[in-house]
Amino acid sequence: MIEQLKQRIAGRTARVGIIGQGYVGLPLALVFEEAGFTVVGFDLDPKKVDALTRGESYIKHIGSARVAASVARGRFTATTDFDGIRDCDAVLICVPTPLGRHREPDLSYVHDSAREIAKRLRPGQLVVLESTTYPGTTDEEVQPILEATGLKCPTDFLLAFSPEREDPGNPKFDTRTIPKVVGGVEPISTEVAVALYAAAVDRVVAVSSSRVAESCKLLENVYRSINIALVNELKVTFDKMGVDVWEVIEAAKTKPFGFTPFYPGPGLGGHCIPLDPFYLSWKAAEYGVWTRFIELAGEVNTSMPHYVVSKVAQALNDEAKAVKLSRVLVLGLSYKENIDDDRESPSYEIIELLQESGARVDYCDPYFPVARPGRKHDLQMTSVPCAPGAFAAYDVIVVSTAHKQFSDPALYQGVGLVVDTRNIVKAWPEGPGRVVKA
């Protein structure tokens, strides 16, 4: 049975099912299809499925041409019918792992996916979890759900973890070229899961267990969270001293060893760095360990939207204006530049904090003509045109996202005040009257 699965993988006749067709699942599906596999994308959202069936992408950096090509070759289909899992040789889980109200892990999407697989699980299948989570989730949470069917791993099915490593908008790396870490709950699962990914991506890194693979992803995100918190804290400290943290970073990174540059901002965004470290801190508490670095980094990073709003208030005060009734334009809803991904974006909190202070707030983002509702926010707003005439009507412009469009000096002609959290606006002679860094 296992040998047959390996042969199907080697011959690219294995059918790959991917649960979740979002920022992780869709590019993964396309990579497997482009490698010659037949792929089925499962999703609960009929709008996504309908778009994919028409050959349309709802993720800008992927593009509809690529989706349309996969659909046209006849090897990629999307569906809301999870019964198709029975026909898949490998089933990959790419669903969200958010935090609850008290920053506790919410594994409901993972559990639901595992139950859907369990209803249709058959001998000879490989199941891989890709959703970022704490060490032990694959063998403690997913495996018991699957084995409740009476089938056992590795006798009847195989189970592994392989953390997603997407970086939307990064021109240097994509799903195929980013090394793929893979760890099974036991050696045979590792071997077959490695074979599957090796048939579609450039490099696969096998580790000794699913727990090592789960921990690897958390280390990557904790590393970034703590270092971003450090430069955010230094930003506030240096500002009090009249020192430009951006100039300090540029000088420090000339050192050819022992230093990696990180950059401050208005807070953390995306599905990984603001959330994943707390999966580890929550799990660590079960073992009587308190992850103080993670908690402190979270405290610093989550305070940044409040810091930005305080800088806006101070800048307006210096112009003899109050925040209340001032017209404020926030640039960018995306959590990072040049992509249409607004998950956990600090821009939403900045907008809401300004509104609570009585400001009349609008936003501008060419990637979001209409602000879409999310789990936490529903602005019910539309984007202001990205044009000089529109910008000049505001008392202050707040740069929250460094979209390349926002670097155009012409946009700031006639603008009196800019609060820049991304260091992209200069005090050009023809630009804004005053630039405050936050």
Catalogue the active-site residues: 272
Instruction: Measure the CA–CA gap between 90 and 148, rounded to whole angstroms.
Output: 19
Q: Using CA atoms, how far apart are residues 38 and 304, in angstroms rounded to an integer?
A: 45
Q: How far apart are CA 405 and CA 382, in angstroms?
A: 18
What are the residues whose beta carbons fall under 8 Å from the beta carbon of 26, sequence distance 6 or more? 41, 52, 57, 59, 62, 67
- Report the C-alpha gap between 61 and 42 in whole angstroms: 21
Q: In whole angstroms, what is the distance from residue 437 CA to residue 425 CA?
A: 9
SS3 label, residue 433: coil
Q: Could you tell me if 129 and 117 are in contact, meaning their C-beta atoms sit under 8 angstroms apart?
A: no
β-partners of residue 42 are 19, 79
User: Which amino acid would we find at residue 240?
Assistant: K
Distance CA 352, CA 333 (A): 12
- Work out the widest C-alpha separation in the chain, in whole angstroms: 76
Which token pair is 228?
A: 């971003």
Non-local (6+) Cβ contacts of 130 within 8 A are: 24, 28, 92, 93, 94, 161, 162, 163, 164
Q: In what order do the strands lie in the sheet with 158-161?
A: 76-79, 38-42, 15-19, 90-93, 126-129, 158-161, 180-184, 204-206
- Distance of alpha carbon 336 from alpha carbon 67, whole angstroms: 23
Quote the radius of gyration of the chain (alpha carbons, Å): 24
Amino acid present at 21: Q
| Residue-level length of the chain | 438
CA distance 334 to 312: 20
